[in-house]
Structure 1
């Protein structure tokens, strides 16, 4: 699966997010998980020169792990989907800015971020267990699931207002195909069980 092949990446991720309730839970919780992680990442403090004469002082940002992580995500998303990635960039940058300020303003920021983080993960596992009725994508490919999740929920929002409807249709079509394969595999396993007398 190509890391820069958007359709393949979305098809993989969409296989684990078919139910509308589960998708909605992820649209809310994935950004919260990402933001809370950025709060923790802000603990590093500046990782690049941040002296009084530093160019960083001309920006609202602190070059900590939170910002550097967001810049990595932005670059990856723009490579995957230039328009959606560029539209998402200001939101991600604001999340890094907000997370850094939150960490600076609240002495108990790690605990508060932890509460948000744990609550959001629990909500997602509930969505997978009760709505989706299957394990989350991270069980099969944790690095890919964590890397793609923020873009996936952003594209879900864009798809809902008509963005790249052709791509959305192709992903849904492939998703239905994989679902049929899964159902067929279950039926075959049931038949094998019957034949073996189980």
Structure 2
């Protein structure tokens, strides 16, 4: 089985994200969903430190991205660290990270499905579950192209 390159993944993902409204929805909702998934992992009781499960998962997420593109992996690592910092602020404010993540996760997915209704195409992850990991990289790839960063 041939391995797909990051460009192959991003191009394939982009095929079902052509509508300008759907793109805008995804630019907001995809990072929010990524953030809330880290929040769910953060909320799992951990043996060592609060964010243990989130950090452990992010190690594997970073390795997944590194297999496809080191620059994308670096950008996603920075974004992941910002997510952890944001979750720490939420927890420090006495807000339930789990409940916050649940509410925002549901709202973001409603946005995603609405965006795909506008697009007229089903979400990419219905074709391949890996697209759930490619969505955040697609946003990062867009930013990199805009900033002139090669990936």
Interval of TM-score (by shorter of Structure 1 and Structure 2): 0.7 to 0.9
Unaligned runs of 5+ residues in structure 2 are none
Match of 1:17 in 2: 17
Task: State the number of aligned residues.
Answer: 151
1:122-133 alignment to 2 at 5 Å? Answer: 122-130=110-118, 132-133=119-120
Give the 3 Å change call, closer, same or farther, for CA 159–88 of structure 1 in structure 2.
same
Q: 2:132 aligns with which of 136, 142, 146?
A: 146
Unaligned runs of 5+ residues in structure 1 are 51-60, 168-198
Match of 1:102 in 2: 90
How far 1:122 sits from its partner (Å)? 0.9
Give the 3 Å change call, closer, same or farther, for CA 43–108 of structure 1 in structure 2.
closer
Match of 2:81 in 1: 93
Matching of residue 71 in structure 1 with residue 59 in structure 2:
yes
Matching of residue 36 in structure 1 with residue 72 in structure 2:
no
How far 1:139 sits from its partner (Å)? 1.6
Q: Distance in 1 between matches of 2:8 and 2:117?
A: 24
Q: Distance in 1 between matches of 2:114 and 2:14?
A: 17
How far 1:26 sits from its partner (Å)? 0.9
Give the 3 Å change call, closer, same or farther, for CA 100–162 of structure 1 in structure 2.
same
Match of 1:162 in 2: 148
Moved over 6 A (4+): none
> Do the aligned partners of 1:46 and 1:64 also contact (CA within 8 Å) in 2?
yes
Match of 1:45 in 2: 45
Q: Distance in 1 between matches of 2:20 and 2:124?
A: 16
Higher Rg: 1
Q: Distance in 1 between matches of 2:41 and 2:67?
A: 24
Higher RCO structure (Cα 8 Å, ≥6 apart):
2
Task: Using structure 1 for the length normalisation, give the TM-score.
Answer: 0.66
